[in-house]
């Protein structure tokens, strides 16, 4: 599979966006995480397409506190369980948080907390699939592929934006 990639500059760091042509399949912070995600012969090729262009515009609006959601098409690459988890993440309301336990319950499998956390960690489309909204059951910030500081900044940004609408 060929994936077109482009650097996206955000106020909290550069990210790599990827598109299959069907939609965005990647928005990641580090090369190491990208390498972890794509080990099955995918060809990553620098370039630009309409999906990446729209993503860049929507991310700019997100960080400028102009939008709370994204319309760019996604092309989820993962197992059926991972896709279920990622779709559940998209149901967490903007500016709100959830726990792994709440997320496991949301997919009808309250005993799948660990599997939920692992699938959450394999999310390839940061910010758009809002895995940053998942916190520990004690309210603490837990692992985030973009780093805990970026997770904190995203949650603060969304909290501020709630007051603007």
* 8 Å CB contact between 89 and 129: yes
Residue 131 is a catalytic residue:
yes
**Catalytic site residue from 131, 135, 153, 154:** 131
Cβ–Cβ < 8 Å for 28, 34: yes
3-class DSSP state for residue 134?
strand
Kindly tell me the sign of the dihedral angle through the C-alpha atoms of 39, 58, 152, 115: negative
Distance separating alpha carbons of residues 53 and 65, to the nearest angstrom = 19
* Phi, psi dihedrals of residue 78, rounded to the nearest 5°: 175, -175
Annotated catalytic residues are: 131
């Amino acid at each position: 599979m060929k994936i077109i990639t482009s650097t996206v500059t955000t106020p909290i760091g550069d990210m790599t966006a990827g598109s299959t042509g069907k939609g965005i399949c990647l928005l990641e912070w580090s090369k190491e995480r990208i390498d972890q995600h794509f080990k099955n012969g995918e060809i990553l090729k620098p370039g630009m397409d309409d999906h990446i262009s729209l993503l860049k515009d929507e991310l700019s609006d997100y960080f400028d506190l102009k939008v709370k959601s994204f319309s760019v098409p996604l092309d989820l690459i993962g197992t059926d369980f991972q896709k279920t988890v990622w779709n559940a993440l998209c149901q967490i309301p903007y500016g709100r948080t959830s726990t792994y336990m709440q997320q496991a319950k949301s997919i009808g499998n309250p005993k799948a907390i660990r599997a939920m956390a692992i699938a959450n960690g394999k999310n390839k489309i940061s910010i758009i699939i809002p895995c940053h909204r998942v916190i520990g059951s004690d309210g603490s910030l837990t692992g985030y592929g973009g780093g805990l500081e970026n997770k904190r900044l995203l949650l603060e940004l969304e909290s501020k934006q709630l007051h603007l609408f």
